Amino acid sequence: MRLVFLGPPGAGKGTQAVMLSERRGILHLSTGDILRENVKRRTEIGKKAKSFMEKGELVPDDMVIEMMIETIKTGNKDKGFILDGFPRTLYQAKKIDGELEGLNLPIDTVFYFKTSIDIVIFRLTGRRLCKDCGANYHIKNMPPKKEDVCDKCGGELYQRKDDSEETIKKRLEVYNSQTEELIGYYRGKGILKELSGDLDADVVYEEIFGILKKDL
């Protein structure tokens, strides 16, 4: 099972990818997480990506494509993989399609998380993450049991730099101008499944699971 999770920032792509990966053992590859890890470790990729990410802009295509091809090639793909937040431009989509076809691993389903703008802004401004294990919370929707402390590992929670209202607006602009056209691209290939990202996380999961269950 080889999936792409496509949708605006805050649509819940990462949340669903983690649920599916933890429950079904599918490899979860988030470009955002991989880039943030590179920034943290101050790698060459991280140094180049940092300023783009902080401004809410896309990191240059070729850098992201190369990084993802390498990650896909080296990961354990026995049960398939989920590409979360990648591809994000038509150029990335065409490039990765060519590469994956060459590896005999074409994408079989693309989930498009259709989500309202006010919900996206509410979710992202309230998102908190664990510094140690990366677990994801929302101060109102999915609060930790103890304020600013991770339920899973006791680590400290923090807010992503690009989750300020101003940068969220920029990320949405970038999504509308550069990523939205992928909906038509994948619809044309007949592999797009549309779902409402506005619904509760468990409801969204059930919908995804319902579509995939014959192959899980």
Give contact residues for ligand AP5 (rule: CB under 6 A).
7, 9-15, 31-32, 35, 52-53, 56-59, 64, 85-88, 92, 123-124, 127, 136-138, 141-142, 162, 171, 199-201, 204
Residue (69 or 199) nearer to ligand AP5, CB: 199
Report CA Rg, the chain: 17
Select 70 or 78, whichever has its Cβ closest to ligand AP5: 70
Active-site choice (2, 36, 95, 127): 127
Instruction: Give the residue closest to ligand AP5 by C-beta.
Output: 32
Would you say 90 and 173 are in contact if contact means Cβ atoms under 8 Å apart? no
Q: State the pairing for strand pair 109-114/2-6.
A: parallel
Say whether 127 is catalytic.
yes
Task: Please tell me the distance from the alpha carbon of residue 40 to that of residue 36, in angstroms, as a whole number.
Answer: 6
Select 173 or 214, whichever has its Cβ closest to ligand AP5: 173
Name the minimum Å distance from CB 133 to ligand AP5.
14
Q: How far is the CB of 169 from ligand AP5 (least distance, A)?
A: 12
What is the nearest approach in angstroms of ligand AP5 to the Cβ of residue 158?
Answer: 12
The three-state secondary structure class of 196 is strand
**Whether residue 187 lies in the annotated active site:** no
State in angstroms the smallest separation of the CB of 65 from ligand AP5.
Answer: 8
Backbone φ, ψ for residue 129 (5° rounding): -130, 155
Determine how many CB atoms are found less than 10 A away from the CB of residue 59: 20
Q: Which is nearer to ligand AP5, 95 or 138 (CB)?
A: 138
Catalytic residue among 88, 95, 123, 128: 88
The residue among 161, 151, 155 whose CA lies nearest residue 132 is: 155
Q: Is 41 a catalytic residue?
A: no
Contact 179, 57 (CB under 8 A): no
Which residue out of 160, 161, 170, 187 is catalytically annotated? 160
| Residue 191 CB, nearest approach to ligand AP5 (Å) | 18
Q: How far apart are CA 216 and CA 209, in angstroms?
A: 9
Alpha carbon distance 203, 205 (integer Å): 5
- Residue 41 phi/psi, 5° resolution? -85, 0
Tell me if residue 171 is catalytic.
yes
Whether 13 is a known active-site residue: answer yes
The set of catalytic residues is 13, 88, 127, 160, 171
